[in-house]
Amino acid sequence: MTLADARRIIAAAEKKAEEIGQPMNIAVVDEGGNLVAHVRMDKAWIGSIDIAIKKAWTSRAFDISTKELAELSQSGDQFFGINASNHGQVMIFAGGVPLKRGGQVVGAVGVSGGMGKQDQAVAEAGAEAF
């Protein structure tokens, strides 16, 4: 995951966020879950900075979208309580999407600042640009 890759992902995600009229925080992490780039769009919530970064980290740490992880972590399901692991770093809200190259996860994008469906749509737009 290069900075150029991250910038392309963020640009596509920003475009989608502008289309839906929702300012977002957009974060991209590399294969090791390390932050490569983050953008806080004008008027995006400052409380969502941390969430976007953690969504990206979570998606890479488990190689699954945070939307899917959220579904699997409901009471009685196989990952119930996972959000309490990793010192509270695990996010189980939609908006984190793994980034794959050649079938292998090489990073992730995390988006926060809107409703779950909005975050997911913006993250997917960013992932498609990758």
Q: Is 19 helix (H, G, I), strand (E, B) or coil?
A: helix
- What structural domains and CATH numbers belong to the chain? 3-129 (3.30.450.150)
Encoded amino acid at 41, one letter: M
Q: What is the pLDDT of residue 18?
A: 98
Is the distance from CB of 97 to CB of 123 less than 8 angstroms? yes
DSSP 85: S
How far is Cα 66 from Cα 62, in angstroms, rounded to an integer? 9
Provide the pLDDT confidence category of residue 6 given band limits of 50, 70 and 90.
Answer: very high
- At 38-85, the pLDDT tens digits run 999 999 999 999 999 999 999 999 999 999 999 999 999 899 999 999
pTM of the model: 0.95
Q: What is the pLDDT of residue 43?
A: 97
Question: What percent of the chain is predicted at pLDDT more than 70?
Answer: 100
Q: What is the pLDDT of residue 108?
A: 98
Q: What is the pLDDT of residue 29?
A: 98
Alpha helices in 21-129, H assignment, sequence order? 47-62, 66-72, 116-129
DSSP 99: E
